[in-house]
Amino acid sequence: MIGPGTGVRVYLACGVTDMRKGIAGLSAMAQDVLRQKPASGAVFAFRGRRGDRLKLLYWDGQGFCLYYKVLERGRFPWPTAEAGVARLTSAQMAMLWEGIDWRRPDWGAPPARVG
């Protein structure tokens, strides 16, 4: 994906977002709903009602970038509206962008040795 590299802060707007919103509307949501500065260099993620559309808003130092992805099949995994805002790592963001469920990766500790 073109855009922010590793180590960037990622905020998800939990629940449903009106996907007709553009840069101005999404940056207002980042400030008013997520309580973050839109031009801070963080990535803000928004998902539509059907779950197959994702928008990412990112300030690259010169202006806002708006990434938009529509899945042909499936839905983006997303927390419920009650969660308010969720923080993701850049690795979880990469998983989300690919449609992988970032909430349940199978990365547990190695199995205990039986001795």
pLDDT tens readout for residues 13-22: 988 999 999 9
- Round the CA-based radius of gyration of the chain to a whole number and report it: 15
Do 64 and 38 meet the contact criterion of CB atoms below 8 Å apart? yes
Sequential DSSP letters for 54-115 = EEEEEE-SSSEEEEEEE-SSS------GGG-EEEE-HHHHHHHHTT--TTS----PPPPPP-
Residue 45 is given by DSSP the state: E
| pTM attached to this predicted model | 0.82
Domain spans, the chain: 39-74
Q: Which two tokens stand for residue 12?
A: 């998800």
* pLDDT tens track for 36-92: 999 999 999 999 999 999 999 999 999 999 999 999 999 998 887 776 788 888 888
